Amino acid sequence: MANGILKWYDLITINVYWMGLTTLSQTLGLVFPLLIQNFVGESSKGSYLGMLRLWTLMVALLMQAVMGIFSDRSHHAWGRRRPFIIAGTIADIFFIIGVGFSAGLEGVSGFWFLFLMAIFLQASTNTAHAAQQGLIPDLVPDEKRGLYSGFKAFFELPFPLIVVSFTIGKFIGRSDLWLGLGMAILVLVFSMLITMLVPEKRYDEKISPLDWHPFLRLVLMTAIFTLIILGTGELVRLVGKILGQNKATPTTLAFGMGFLGLLGMLIAVALGVWICVQISIGKTAARGNPSYSWWVMNRLAFLVGTTNLSAFAVYFIQARLGYPKETAVSPAANLMLVVGISILIFVLPAGWLSDRFGKKKVVFVAGILATTGTIIALSAPIMNVIYIGGIFIGAATGLFFTSNWALGTSLVPKAEAGKYLGISNLAGAGAGAVGAYIGGPIADAFTTYVPNSPGLGYVVLFSIYGIIFFLSTFALIKVKEVKQLLPA
- Average the pLDDT over each of 78-82, 142-146, 402-406, 423-427 and give the range with the smallest value: 423-427
Whether pLDDT at 5 is above 70: yes
Q: Is the pLDDT of residue 243 over 50?
A: yes
Q: What is the pLDDT of residues 205-231, one digit of tens each?
A: 666 666 667 677 778 877 888 888 888
Per-residue pLDDT at 234 = 86
The pLDDT-based confidence of 486 (bands split at 50, 70, 90) is very low
CA gyration radius for the chain? 21
d(CA 420, CA 285): 11
Segment 283-321, tens digit of pLDDT: 777 787 788 888 888 998 999 999 888 888 888 888 888
Domain 10-203+213-478: give its CATH architecture: Up-down Bundle (1.20)
Indicate the residue type of 386: I
How large is the average pLDDT for residues 440-444?
A: 84
Helices 177-195 and 82-102 cross at an angle (nearest 10°) of: 180
Annotate 79-88 with b (16+ C-beta within 10 A) or e (fewer). bbbbbbbbeb
- State the chain's mean pLDDT as an integer: 84
Give the residue, 385 or 443, on which the prediction is more confident: 385
pLDDT tens digit sequence for 455-485: 788 899 999 999 999 999 998 888 887 655 4
Listed in sequence order, the DSSP H helices in 246-328 are 250-281, 283-288, 290-311, 313-321
The pLDDT assigned to 422 comes to: 61
pLDDT at 425: 65
Q: Where are the domains of the chain?
A: 10-203+213-478
Per-residue pLDDT for 252 more than 70? Answer: yes
At 423 the pLDDT is 65
Is residue 81 classed as helix, strand or coil in its secondary structure?
A: coil
pLDDT at 159 over 80: no
Binned at pLDDT 50, 70 and 90, residue 146 comes out as confident
- So what's the pLDDT on residue 3? 56
pLDDT digits (tens, 9 = 90+) for 264-275: 899 888 888 888
Q: What are phi and psi of 194, to 5 degrees?
A: -65, -35
- Confidence at residue 158, expressed as pLDDT on a 0 to 100 scale: 75
Express as a percent the part of the chain with pLDDT over 90.
29
Is pLDDT at 43 greater than 80 in this prediction? no
Q: Which pairs from 273-278 meet CB under 8 Å and 24+ separation?
A: 273/297, 273/300, 273/426, 275/221, 275/224, 275/225, 275/228, 276/221, 276/222, 276/224, 276/225, 276/423, 276/426, 277/423, 277/426
Coil/strand/helix, residue 451: coil
